[in-house]
Structure 1
Amino acid sequence: MDLSGFLAQLLNGLAEASSLFLVAAGLSLIFGVTRIVNFAHGSFFMLGIYIAYSLVERLGIGSTAVIGFWSSLALAALLVGAVGALVEVILLRRIYKAPELFQLLATFALVLVVNDAVLWLWGPEELLGRRAPGLAGSVDLFGRAYPTYNLFLIVVGPVVLGLLWLLLTRTRWGVLVRAATQDREMLGALGVNQAWLFTGVFALGAMLAGLGGAIQLPREPASLMLDLKAIGEAFVVVVVGGMGSIPGAYVAALLIAEIKAICIGLGNVQLLGIEVSFSKLTLVVEFLVMALVLVFRPWGLMGRPQGTSRNSAPIEAPLRPGSPQFKLLAMGVVAMLASLPMLADWFPYATVLAQDVLVAVLFAVSLHFIMGPGGMHSFGHAAYYGLGAYGAAILLKAALMPMPLALALAPLVAGLGALLFGWFCVRLSGVYLAMLTLAFSQIVWSIVFQWDDFTGGSNGLIGVWPSSWLSGTAYFYLTLTLVVLSVVVLRRILFAPFGFALRAGRDSALRADAIGIDVKRVQWVAFVIAGVFGGLAGALYVFSKGSISPDAMAVGKSVDGLVMVLLGGIQTLMGPIVGAATFNVLQDYIMRATEYWRALFGGVILLLVIAFPQGIAGFARQVADWWSHRRSTRSATAQQENQA
């Protein structure tokens, strides 16, 4: 091992920590005051680097290059802060009292809108910025040339941390911010204008993210993938450091950046005669750290245990069994789907789209099983979808099992993963549980992504087709049958004693424990059930497409599941079905209609979130209940008039 190279990597870790800290500090500040888990925070980071690129190309050239370059970085951060203020005023003020998951859905839609706006303004190509004037060279450290700009970045983090400390402890505005993190209602009762305080905090958080992106311009190109990359790393830093803790964000950024730097510096090392590639751990080590912290200290290294969220969801009505009319409608929908292959001459694409919708329905229903009745919010449900898909593919190709047997055993592979991860996850709740599911999902993804000999690595596995007697229309009917049966089984479970126990633990864990329900065991079993059916959805997917890649279990797939459930409505059993169908049909239509489908799709989601906060199915149920109540009232009035 080259000692000088290893020390240089440690310095690179310090430089990387500054950028991580800037993004995470903004996210932590916003969460501490507004209690919003801002999924769009990575978009502000991306905007920062793109705006800085444009400003530098206009101001950072010629005789005033030095002044123009550095003023461009500062101006880019200020502009991103202004964008953040507009987002808070126009969008977030409307949804502060909405359930937290709907806030997450709205900020995810904003990610789609911003991504396509950047695509429209700057194009799809990566943009490499100019080197920093005055810091473009290198210095001799450890017998090798080390970039001067990295030394500048090492200093930026502590300087910004000190400035934030002064702002939050030595100014009246900072006192109000700290008071808002403790008790927002009391602050409002004292006459403080919370609306503008929230706007200022959101603008400051966005500005920090924009600055974090801007200072990366000389080090990495601006690309459309930076938003999701930045938000993933920022979530990890915030959770490890402690939600709402600025010093914790800096400590966590240092810890994670240095651990990754150590892994790169170690490279391939012989341990007990076995070559271990530490460099491959860079994709997963931050999520390993987050998982360990969440298991042993859920509130983070420097955070404090969070109380019950003030953005509580409305009281949920009891689940109602389907009426005879509903059952007839469901049978009619199934019959209509079964007739689609017969209409292939007129609608050749309908069967393919319907099969994709069916798989998505099963995936969404399995996620809703633990999110709605179980009250366990998962950001990593794609792990079980992917385990089921890869389990089926590997059993078919490596173990040479018959396709029906591989399809039958694949959900058990996902169930084993849920059995292991669920044991840790059900011991947490709220945002901590959600983040732990994300960590486990990313760990599984990184293993699949890098295990070339077994999973095919980034290329995935191909040639995974059904048996000849199940090809074509037969496989569609198999998918339809399995999805319908799975939905019926999950529905029956929820109306069984187990389902009542699950909902009792969600509504009041203390009361459920008092009457003898083992809440954690019930939740663990529910976690495994959801994993099994999520794995079945993945297995059906891989045989319908003939291939599988790590993208099927990436964060984006988990987010898709969240969007489906929330679009339909988390408080109704029909919600995930309606949401999955709406999501896939809209996405398919919009993708074929315009190049900027993400912005249009995100706009539709924002409209639905604002107009139908209970989801599409939830809104439909409210309308149906209102109409039924109106009819019964009219009937009662008519009877009274007749009697009179």
Structure 2
Amino acid sequence: MAFYIVQFLTGLASAASLFLVASGLSIIFGVTRIVNFAHGAFYMMGAYIAFTLTEQWSGALGFWGGIVAASLVVAVIGVLVEIVLLRRIYHAPELFQLLATFGLTLMVEDLVVLTWGPSDLVGRRAPGFKGAVDFFGQVIPSYDLFLIVLGPLVLGALWLLFQRTRWGVLVRAATQDRDMVAALGVNQKWLFTSVFALGVFLAALGGALQIPRDAVHHALDLRIIVDVFVVVVIGGLGSILGAFVAAVLVSELNAFGILIFPTISIILVFAVMAVVLIVRPWGLFGRKEAPARRTPGLTIIPWRALTSLERLGAAVVLALAALLPFVGGNYALTVGAEIAIFVIFAASLHFLMAVGGLASFGHAAYFGLGAYGVAFLAKLAGLPMIACLLLGPLLGTIGAIVFGVFAVQLSGVYFAMLTLAFAQIVWSIAFQWVGVTGGDNGILGVWPEKWAGSPAHFYWLALGITALIVASLRVITFSPFGFALRAMRDSPLRSEAIGIDGKRIQWMAFVIAGTAAGIGGALFAYLKGSVFPDSLGISLSVDALVMVLLGGIETVSGAIIGAIVYKALSIWLVSQTDWSKLVLGIFIVLIVVVFPKGIVGTFETLTARRRRPPSAEPAVLSAEMESAR
């Protein structure tokens, strides 16, 4: 019994740091509606800066002074980020804000390696808490007991701040309806800045307090951000008490899951997240939000049919791409095949987002399932390559069929978070079901047959399938089904009033997008000759979002251009510099600021303005204002 009590207390100690980070993210999202993917980066910066201050400045600041000073330094950095970058894009679509914070994350990952090196750093013990307490033969670190006490104290301080101060009242009001708060004359800019500063301070404090418990390394950001998303969703967006309860729940599931359910311990947390989203989308302690008001720039421009000249241009580009084997070497052909595969992946997500209005944060699940489907059929069943390519993606289709039933019942950020939960469940199964998937070792030896084994032949295969998938998605978009899907996206109530079964239409779109992604994953398995759980991971899902948003979600060919630019730039930077993430992150942030509609979207907007006669401006502006209403 003593062992289980100690395990429970260890879980509570972990919950304290997780609560600090999650409460910061919950506050930031609740008020600003920014899906701050860089929150994990601020946590990591807090740990690194705290390590430096407690090691090199311990004489001047002391250990605890270094912890607080590190959190304040990161908070100031957060304020600068909010003023210089995020304040410029508050009126941009929410997903572009995600793109900007993802770019920041890439930059921070390389900056910490450049500053502190790639090796893990081990911090010193906290003064006064270096020993341990004996509990019926079991040892409890005294620092864990300190964290257990600290968590409720921080919760109480935050409760007083939000319940007993005017600033706290404004923050709680903005969490429920920020437009109404603005209508009352509150300066939203400085309210957002102060909220962001507090959220970043809490994240940095959570990271700084972990240095006596864990080694500091440059992968801390991605490790913590997934758990933080889970906590925020379970507890409820904007709820501090919810973040505390959910942090305890998640930490205890992690602590006891490895003991009671060792083969599915990782799955438990994401299963709970999925159940909460399905039963109570706004979380255990959250409240239903006021209906979102549409702002200019969010209306997706209807896709139009290609003109004869544009069809000719597309055919010429495809023909030129098919000539690559005659002028490029094997490396260029391998890179070209990989880019073509990611065009399929990005186009499938673009179809779901642009036509269906459904932003998925877990689209890699179906890409990875398609890859695993091919690996199972090729290695376990010994089927030929053509059969594997035809049947393997069906595993992605099955996943989309099952998950889509639940996902389409939600909308907005709740839909996105449920897709993330499902994707993480699939990733956890692949990671822990070692007997079937190989776990972290993956499935090796998934090579194409002789007829597709040369780089040139495989490139032509990938290019042909890519062209077929992109064309098929476009045909579906302009079919009666596509028009019904867009009607549901633009006006669910009117669509249902005229007899459109909106949920069924959205579910079918979800399945179509999942199947297309599965086809891309099947090709990817043959390209790499192996399949690993990373093909299902959150980082790959974010890559797909980046490709779509870089190209432009309001465009026809945005996903294609975005995938080509992002993937080609990523591969080229890796071969040219050790700081590829830093350069790529800067590029992404510049694109968001300079081209808020994406590369293709900005080009089309400029072209349309040049072609528009001056007399048409008032009519167009009136139409845009009416659309915004």
The bucket for the TM-score relative to the shorter chain is: over 0.9
Given the alignment, which residue of 198, 208, 211 partners 2:192?
198
Partner-residue secondary structure (3-state), 1:140: strand
Find the structure with the greater CA-based Rg.
1
Structure 2: runs of 5 or more not aligned: 617-629
Q: Which residue of 1 aligns with 2:106?
A: 112
Cα distance change of structure 1 residues 430 and 194 upon mapping to structure 2, 3 Å threshold? same
Cα distance, 1:31 vs. partner? 1.0
Q: Which residue of 1 aligns with 2:626?
A: none
Q: Which residue of 2 aligns with 1:70?
A: 64
Q: Which residue of 1 aligns with 2:216?
A: 222
Q: Given residue 81 of structure 2, which amino acid in structure 1 is its aligned partner? A: V
Given the alignment, which residue of 500, 508, 522 partners 1:525?
508
> Is contact 1:5-1:265 (8 Å) kept?
no
Q: Which residue of 2 aligns with 1:328?
A: 312
Q: Which residue of 2 aligns with 1:208?
A: 202
Cα distance, 1:455 vs. partner? 1.1
Distance 1:627 1:190 in 2: 39
Q: Which residue of 2 aligns with 1:493?
A: 476
Distance 1:145 1:384 in 2: 45
Q: Which residue of 2 aligns with 1:605?
A: 588
Distance 1:184 1:466 in 2: 55
Given the alignment, which residue of 73, 76, 92 partners 1:98?
92
Distance 1:264 1:444 in 2: 18
Q: Given residue 484 of structure 1, which amino acid in structure 2 is its aligned partner? A: A
Q: Which residue of 1 aligns with 2:433?
A: 451
Q: Given residue 140 of structure 2, which amino acid in structure 1 is its aligned partner? A: Y
Cα distance, 1:439 vs. partner? 0.5
Q: Which residue of 1 aligns with 2:250?
A: 256
Partner-residue secondary structure (3-state), 1:584: helix
Partner-residue secondary structure (3-state), 1:183: helix
Residue 133 of structure 1 pairs with residue 118 of structure 2: no
Q: Given residue 452 of structure 1, which amino acid in structure 2 is its aligned partner? A: V
Q: Which residue of 1 aligns with 2:7?
A: 9
Partner-residue secondary structure (3-state), 2:509: helix
Residue 306 of structure 1 pairs with residue 289 of structure 2: yes
Q: Which residue of 2 aligns with 1:290?
A: 273
- Note the alpha carbon deviations across 1:441-483, whole angstroms, 9 max, x for none: 0110111111122111101111111111221122221111111
Q: Which residue of 2 aligns with 1:239?
A: 233
Cα distance, 1:316 vs. partner? 2.6
Distance 1:474 1:348 in 2: 11
Cα distance, 1:178 vs. partner? 2.0
| TM-score between the two structures when normalised by the length of structure 2 | 0.95
Q: Which residue of 1 aligns with 2:625?
A: none
Q: Given residue 462 of structure 2, which amino acid in structure 1 is its aligned partner? A: T
Distance 2:615 2:77 in 1: 50
Q: Which residue of 2 aligns with 1:369?
A: 351
Q: Which residue of 1 aligns with 2:40?
A: 42
Residue 562 of structure 1 pairs with residue 545 of structure 2: yes
- Note the alpha carbon deviations across 1:567-610, whole angstroms, 9 max, x for none: 00111120100100010111122222221111111111111111
Q: Which residue of 2 aligns with 1:537?
A: 520
Q: Which residue of 1 aligns with 2:418?
A: 436
Cα distance change of structure 1 residues 617 and 443 upon mapping to structure 2, 3 Å threshold? same
Distance 1:60 1:255 in 2: 35
Residue 162 of structure 1 pairs with residue 156 of structure 2: yes
Distance 1:629 1:467 in 2: 53
> Is contact 2:393-2:522 (8 Å) kept?
yes
Q: Which residue of 1 aligns with 2:302?
A: 318
Distance 2:514 2:311 in 1: 27
Cα distance change of structure 1 residues 103 and 46 upon mapping to structure 2, 3 Å threshold? same
Q: Which residue of 1 aligns with 2:620?
A: none
Tell me how large the CA RMSD over aligned residues is. Answer: 1.5
Q: Given residue 21 of structure 1, which amino acid in structure 2 is its aligned partner? A: F
Q: Which residue of 1 aligns with 2:571?
A: 588
Q: Given residue 328 of structure 1, which amino acid in structure 2 is its aligned partner? A: L
Residue 123 of structure 1 pairs with residue 117 of structure 2: yes
Cα distance, 1:242 vs. partner? 0.4
Q: Given residue 195 of structure 1, which amino acid in structure 2 is its aligned partner? A: K
Q: Given residue 566 of structure 1, which amino acid in structure 2 is its aligned partner? A: L
> Is contact 1:9-1:265 (8 Å) kept?
no
Q: Which residue of 2 aligns with 1:143?
A: 137
Distance 1:142 1:514 in 2: 67
Partner-residue secondary structure (3-state), 1:305: coil
Distance 1:455 1:182 in 2: 44
Distance 1:527 1:180 in 2: 33
- Note the alpha carbon deviations across 1:242-294, whole angstroms, 9 max, x for none: 0111111111111111122222343xxxxxxxxxxx13433222111100100
Cα distance change of structure 1 residues 45 and 383 upon mapping to structure 2, 3 Å threshold? same
Partner-residue secondary structure (3-state), 1:284: helix
Cα distance, 1:412 vs. partner? 1.1
Cα distance, 1:624 vs. partner? 2.6
> Is contact 1:98-1:311 (8 Å) kept?
no
Q: Given residue 339 of structure 1, which amino acid in structure 2 is its aligned partner? A: L
Given the alignment, which residue of 324, 332, 351 partners 1:350?
332
Cα distance, 1:533 vs. partner? 0.7
Cα distance, 1:616 vs. partner? 1.1
Q: Given residue 442 of structure 2, which amino acid in structure 1 is its aligned partner? A: G
Q: Given residue 464 of structure 2, which amino acid in structure 1 is its aligned partner? A: T
Partner-residue secondary structure (3-state), 1:14: helix
Cα distance, 1:348 vs. partner? 4.5
Q: Which residue of 2 aligns with 1:640?
A: none
Q: Which residue of 1 aligns with 2:622?
A: none
Cα distance, 1:39 vs. partner? 0.8
> Is contact 1:10-1:261 (8 Å) kept?
yes
Q: Which residue of 2 aligns with 1:341?
A: 325
Q: Which residue of 2 aligns with 1:385?
A: 367
Cα distance change of structure 1 residues 130 and 385 upon mapping to structure 2, 3 Å threshold? same
Distance 1:186 1:535 in 2: 44
Cα distance, 1:310 vs. partner? 4.3
Q: Given residue 538 of structure 1, which amino acid in structure 2 is its aligned partner? A: G
Q: Given residue 308 of structure 2, which amino acid in structure 1 is its aligned partner? A: P
Deviates more, 1:251-260 or 1:41-50: 251-260
> Is contact 1:99-1:311 (8 Å) kept?
no
Distance 2:293 2:214 in 1: 40
Partner-residue secondary structure (3-state), 2:459: helix
Distance 1:591 1:308 in 2: 44
Cα distance, 1:60 vs. partner? 3.1
- Note the alpha carbon deviations across 1:174-233, whole angstroms, 9 max, x for none: 222223223333333433322112111100000000000011010001111110111111
Cα distance change of structure 1 residues 56 and 311 upon mapping to structure 2, 3 Å threshold? farther
Distance 1:632 1:355 in 2: 47
Q: Percent of counterpart pairs with the same letter?
A: 54
| TM-score between the two structures when normalised by the length of structure 1 | 0.93
Partner-residue secondary structure (3-state), 2:256: helix
Q: Given residue 486 of structure 2, which amino acid in structure 1 is its aligned partner? A: R
Partner-residue secondary structure (3-state), 2:139: strand
Q: Which residue of 1 aligns with 2:404?
A: 422
Q: Given residue 141 of structure 1, which amino acid in structure 2 is its aligned partner? A: F
Distance 2:318 2:350 in 1: 21
> Is contact 1:39-1:231 (8 Å) kept?
yes
> Is contact 1:494-1:500 (8 Å) kept?
yes
Residue 409 of structure 1 pairs with residue 407 of structure 2: no
Q: Which residue of 2 aligns with 1:638?
A: none
> Is contact 2:26-2:237 (8 Å) kept?
yes
Given the alignment, which residue of 448, 452, 457 partners 1:470?
452
Q: Given residue 557 of structure 1, which amino acid in structure 2 is its aligned partner? A: L
- Note the alpha carbon deviations across 1:371-391, whole angstroms, 9 max, x for none: 110011100000000000010
Q: Which residue of 2 aligns with 1:23?
A: 21
Partner-residue secondary structure (3-state), 2:133: strand
Q: Which residue of 1 aligns with 2:556?
A: 573
Cα distance, 1:628 vs. partner? 2.9
Partner-residue secondary structure (3-state), 2:134: strand
> Is contact 1:42-1:228 (8 Å) kept?
yes
Distance 1:507 1:555 in 2: 28
Partner-residue secondary structure (3-state), 1:158: helix
> Is contact 1:100-1:311 (8 Å) kept?
no
